[in-house]
Structure 1
Amino acid sequence: MRKVVSPRPSGHTPAHLLISLADMLRAWLPEQRWFAGKGRRVTELTLLSVTELHPACLHLLVRTGRSSSASAPDDCYQLFLGVGEVLPPRLAHARIGRASEGPLAGLTVYDALQEPRSADLLLERLRTAGTAGPLRFERDPKVSVPAGLAPRLLDAEQSNSSLVYGDAYILKVFRRVQPGVNPDLEVPWALARQGCTRVPAPVAWFRTSEPQAATLGVLQPFLPDAVDGWTLALEALTAGRHFTDEAYELGRATAEVHVALAAAFALGAPAGHGSRRLAAAMTARLEATSRAVPELLPHVEGLRGAFDELAVLDSGRPVQRIHGDLHLGQVLWAGERWSVIDFEGEPARPVAERRQPQSPVRDVAGMLRSFDYAARSRHPWRPEWARRCRDAYCAGYAAQARWDPRAQPELLRAYETDRAVYEALYEARHRPDWLPVPMAAIARLAQQHPASSGGPHTPVPSFHSAQGG
């Protein structure tokens, strides 16, 4: 029989508890997909918050510091730790370690999100709302979530963890926590109020008030029969068929979401001086990335030209809230229509930055780059397939939005260039075999006029995982 312990025995502070946890967490955290400091050792650990969710489950907010990154800010992570004397064989894969000292000495610690009992109780907290220490569990009073939905942890998540309950709801747990309202709660909630059905509406969520207010997780309807756009695109490529009909409808769906976002949130001023600031920021990212990715150096001058053209552009269109990280992996095809998910934006960027109004062309550029990624992930490379998808997507967008993002090629080129530079940095750090994909686009963008298309073929290896990071 498993022995359970009180997570904060009388007289023990988070600092005392850290005596038991520090060594095992320093070893375990860097191995997790959602840990941002890949390849860097955790040197500092601070327990910011410890809450008992049930007698054998602790909720922790942990601040980490890393070696070789003195200039980088510390990160805060959300952990659910189970504690027991004996770990059942079915949970062996969830084991974090065994404490040798401190208040948990002699007890085994494991990832509680992989334990059905803890996952069940987490859903129950969300169903009924209420508080647990600094944690606040809230829900949409118009939606009743049934009890007893069997949980399962998805294994495809990269930057967060997701639990599916009975194929009816999905709970996204934000592993890397930043102060403020997470856009993946704020935006779908606002879109639901606008009557936009392209985005699953939040039904429950939880947050913390300490050490700072922050969103911790969101429960939304799950689409069990949905297929993500990346998978569908690769299936089309493998079968040798076009994807233009789907791309056109995806353009319409994107525009529908953008129109709803423009109604739900305050608009920003049209570009003018903002174009110069945006171009300067893109140029700074290019220069910093070229120092980290030497392959970029021959193309820097040509890429800078795209940003110079942006600096003198007056788009005449206001900026607004957008998705922020749109690609084929962020859209689902279900019931003969597209849905858009994951409004968190790029997790590496501060929440305040992700919530700023931006040009919707940024989302369009992200999707255009995604079509290129798909085309280059299959042999032989089919540039015409990607071009047709890009054109169909923009045509669908224009039909719904009543304006065509291709009408301002300088703006579209700048955003595509900025996205390709971001991709090059990501691939160089995490998936070097993928680096030729953004590099082919970079070579094209560095030499093209804004209205031109196409470019040289760069061979790439055979890929077996989805786009993005």
Structure 2
Amino acid sequence: MAAIAAWMPAQRWFAGKGHAPVLRRIGAWELPVAEPGVRALSLLVMDDGAEPPVLYQVPVVERADGGSADEHLIGVLDDGTHLIDGPHDPAFTGALLDLIRAGGRAVAHGATAMGHPSALRAGDSDAPAGATARVPASVLGGEQSNTSIVYRPVGEAPVICKVFRQLHHGDNPDVTLQTALGVAGSPHIPPVVGDVLGEWDDVGRAEGRARGHLAFAQEFLPGVEDAWRVALLAAANGQDFADEARALGAAVAEVHLGLRGAFEHAPASDELIAAVTGAWRRRLAIAVAEVPELEPQRAAIEAFYERAEAGAWPDLQRVHGDLHLGQVILAPDRGWFLLDFEGEPMRPMAERRSPDLPVRDVAGMLRSFDYVAGATELLHPEQAAEARAWTASARQAFVDGYVAASGMDLTVYRDLLAAFELDKAVYEAIYETRNRPHWAPIPLRAIAHLIEAGPLEASTDAAGAPQAGGTAPDATAADAPA
């Protein structure tokens, strides 16, 4: 554990910045490897130095001779064994993909791991066990919370496998929601390859064991940038984005309809409404204390919250939960894909697995469009007016596409949507003030504009049917803090 404890703080997925990990091994599961002198394991280690303690999954490969992956060396054990970061070693990556595509159970060392191929792909692979050890694999850069391995098998579609670093009891919504959408035939998620489900000791549970997802594999779409980068380029070049935004709104609506059909939904209770509005007010109190510029607007923001609390609330259902332009990609000839259904990272996993409000996703995407304008203005101040117009057009098109595909009249929930946008912007103001003060004007300006313009106004289409949009405020959208 000493070698891993010394290595972990430098990893992007380690959440305990500011303290040295105090590790305790909970268990491990081992993958079969044909290569002599090599073991591929995934260790489950508890960091008792965190408050509350955090359970991490740490894949490792033990090599007697060190192999060729010493640039990803974790440490050298007393007997000379080299400990390699598993996602960077072909012994682990190949055996992991075998486990997912063929199914079966890994060797248990206090923790179990079972591979589950997708029901739509079971039996696709006739390759013998261990064959995928030869599939080229690399780690996707830039991730904060997990580690994704990209496989590029010859003659097959590439596969991306996300190895979850922080483990929680219960199903991971990234797996369950996308698997259900895949079974339902949704064209807006990458096809599912399979997953790994594990079980480990947990003295905090009555039964003494916890169960949760360890890894999740899907088709990988190479050479496609996320919509945040695409939108930034479009705004900077003055390229109209209305058609793409309208199609994205329709895609989000279709995903919501698919989730509503696959999982339970129910009316919003008084308890839920109180919990949501209470969270808004707590976040606002923190923001006012840390961002003094918000103090003069506090009463106006609270008035928005009060109107939303007393207004209409849609049914609860499963949603994406952390939707912004960085979570979607536009694939040529295949349309929009939504990614990363784990939900907002700062929310407890139990909350992320619960039914939520579709307008949370709508508000998140609307905020994200505003960040495109804000970022464009920071880089190109002379394009401020054009960036504002670009955002207004994209926002309106997104809402129009969502309303048309979902059948939901967002004007009924105009106060609620405005409150969610404001709450998101308040969060952004906290984040930017703490981390990137020069970006703080983006959410602060959004808050001022939203208060001034008010919620979405009703308009009518050619047939006279109510639509959401009208004078939608032009200050909204954020993925940069996510």
Q: Fold-level match, TM-score > 0.5?
A: yes
Q: Where do 1:91-102 residues align within 5 Å? A: 91-99=69-77
Q: Where do 1:180-191 residues align within 5 Å? A: 180-191=170-181
Per-residue CA deviations over 1:305-343 (Å, capped at 9, x if unaligned) read 22222221123x312110001111111111331111111
Tell me the CA shift for residue 188 of structure 1. Answer: 0.9
Would the aligned equivalents of 1:63 and 1:76 in 2 still touch at CA under 8 Å?
Answer: yes
Per-residue CA deviations over 1:364-393 (Å, capped at 9, x if unaligned) read 000001111111112233111111110000
Tell me the CA shift for residue 64 of structure 1. Answer: 1.3
Would the aligned equivalents of 1:225 and 1:334 in 2 still touch at CA under 8 Å?
Answer: no
Would the aligned equivalents of 1:95 and 1:109 in 2 still touch at CA under 8 Å?
Answer: yes
Per-residue CA deviations over 1:191-232 (Å, capped at 9, x if unaligned) read 122222211242211021112101111111122243321121
- Is 1:161 equivalent to 2:147 in the alignment? yes
Aligned partner of 2:60 in structure 1 is 81
SS across alignment from 1:175: coil
Which stretch shifts more, 355-364 or 380-389? Answer: 380-389
Would the aligned equivalents of 1:181 and 1:214 in 2 still touch at CA under 8 Å?
Answer: yes
The CA distance in 2 between the partners of 1:456 and 1:397, in whole Å, is 19
Which stretch shifts more, 430-439 or 146-155? Answer: 430-439
Aligned partner of 1:467 in structure 2 is 480
The CA distance in 1 between the partners of 2:239 and 2:278, in whole Å, is 41
SS across alignment from 1:77: strand
The CA distance in 2 between the partners of 1:258 and 1:294, in whole Å, is 38
Q: Which runs of 5+ in 2 are unaligned?
A: 202-209, 457-470
Write the letter of the residue equivalent to 1:97.
G
Cα separation, partners in 2 of 1:304 and 1:118, compared to 1, 3 Å: same
Would the aligned equivalents of 1:428 and 1:435 in 2 still touch at CA under 8 Å?
Answer: yes
Of 111, 118, 126, the match for 1:140 = 118
- Is 1:231 equivalent to 2:221 in the alignment? no
Aligned partner of 2:11 in structure 1 is 32
Per-residue CA deviations over 1:139-167 (Å, capped at 9, x if unaligned) read 12541246543212111322211111115
Tell me the CA shift for residue 265 of structure 1. Answer: 0.9
Per-residue CA deviations over 1:222-257 (Å, capped at 9, x if unaligned) read 222433211210121222211111000000101111
Of 110, 120, 128, the match for 2:94 = 120
Which stretch shifts more, 53-62 or 74-83? Answer: 53-62
Write the letter of the residue equivalent to 1:47.
R
The CA distance in 1 between the partners of 2:282 and 2:248, in whole Å, is 32
- Is 1:58 equivalent to 2:58 in the alignment? no
The CA distance in 2 between the partners of 1:395 and 1:444, in whole Å, is 21
Of 82, 95, 104, the match for 1:108 = 82
The CA distance in 2 between the partners of 1:236 and 1:304, in whole Å, is 35
Identity %: 37
Q: Which runs of 5+ in 1 are unaligned?
A: 1-20, 458-464
- Is 1:206 equivalent to 2:196 in the alignment? yes
The CA distance in 2 between the partners of 1:201 and 1:108, in whole Å, is 36
The CA distance in 2 between the partners of 1:309 and 1:30, in whole Å, is 45
Write the letter of the residue equivalent to 1:26.
A
Per-residue CA deviations over 1:163-202 (Å, capped at 9, x if unaligned) read 1111521111111111110001110111122222211242
Of 252, 260, 263, the match for 2:261 = 263
Q: Where do 1:53-452 residues align within 5 Å? A: 53=31, 54=33, 55-66=38-49, 72-88=51-67, 91-99=69-77, 104-132=78-106, 133=108, 134-143=112-121, 144-145=124-125, 147-148=131-132, 149-166=135-152, 168-211=158-201, 212-270=210-268, 274-293=272-291, 296-315=294-313, 317-336=314-333, 337-378=335-376, 379=380, 380-381=383-384, 382-446=387-451, 448-451=453-456
Cα separation, partners in 2 of 1:42 and 1:326, compared to 1, 3 Å: same
Tell me the CA shift for residue 349 of structure 1. Answer: 1.8
Cα separation, partners in 2 of 1:293 and 1:58, compared to 1, 3 Å: farther
Cα separation, partners in 2 of 1:124 and 1:240, compared to 1, 3 Å: same
Aligned partner of 2:464 in structure 1 is none
Tell me the CA shift for residue 438 of structure 1. Answer: 2.3
Aligned partner of 1:46 in structure 2 is 24
SS across alignment from 2:200: coil
Write the letter of the residue equivalent to 2:190.
P
Would the aligned equivalents of 1:95 and 1:110 in 2 still touch at CA under 8 Å?
Answer: yes
TM-score under structure 2 normalisation?
0.82
The CA distance in 2 between the partners of 1:254 and 1:444, in whole Å, is 25
SS across alignment from 1:323: coil
The CA distance in 2 between the partners of 1:128 and 1:432, in whole Å, is 49
Tell me the CA shift for residue 288 of structure 1. Answer: 3.4
Q: How many residues align?
A: 430
Would the aligned equivalents of 1:275 and 1:313 in 2 still touch at CA under 8 Å?
Answer: no
Write the letter of the residue equivalent to 1:467.
A
Would the aligned equivalents of 2:164 and 2:214 in 1 still touch at CA under 8 Å?
Answer: yes
